[in-house]
Amino acid sequence: MTYQTALDLLAKRGVAVEQVAEIVHRLQSPYNADLTIEECVESVLAVLGKREVQYTLFTGIALDMLAEQKLLPDPLQSIMENDEALYGADETLALGIVHVYGMIGLTSFGYLDKEKAGIIRALNNNRSHIHVFLDDLVAGLAAAASARIAHKNKNARTYSAASSEENSVS
Residues forming the site for Ca ion (CB under 5 A): 90, 132, 135-136
- Smallest gap from residue 79 Cβ to Ca ion (A): 11
Q: What is the distance between the alpha carbons of residues 75 and 123, in angstroms, rounded to a whole number?
A: 23
Q: Closest residue (Cβ) to Ca ion?
A: 90
DSSP symbol at 52: H
Beta carbon of residue 48, minimum distance to Ca ion (angstroms, whole number): 19
CA-based torsion, 54, 42, 24, 147: positive or negative: positive
Residue whose CB is less far from Ca ion, 39 or 136: 136
Cβ atoms of 99 and 26 closer than 8 Å: no
Q: Of 39 and 135, which CB lies nearer to Ca ion in the complex structure?
A: 135
Nearer residue to Ca ion within complex by CB, 39 or 60:
60
CB–CB of 119/15 below 8 Å?
A: yes
Compute the distance between CA of residue 61 and CA of residue 69 in angstroms, rounded to an integer: 12
Return d(Cα 122, Cα 16) in angstroms, integer: 12
- Shortest spacing between CB 144 and Ca ion, in angstroms: 17
Q: Which is nearer to Ca ion, 22 or 136 (CB)?
A: 136
Provide, rounded to whole angstroms, the least separation between the CB of residue 93 and Ca ion. 10
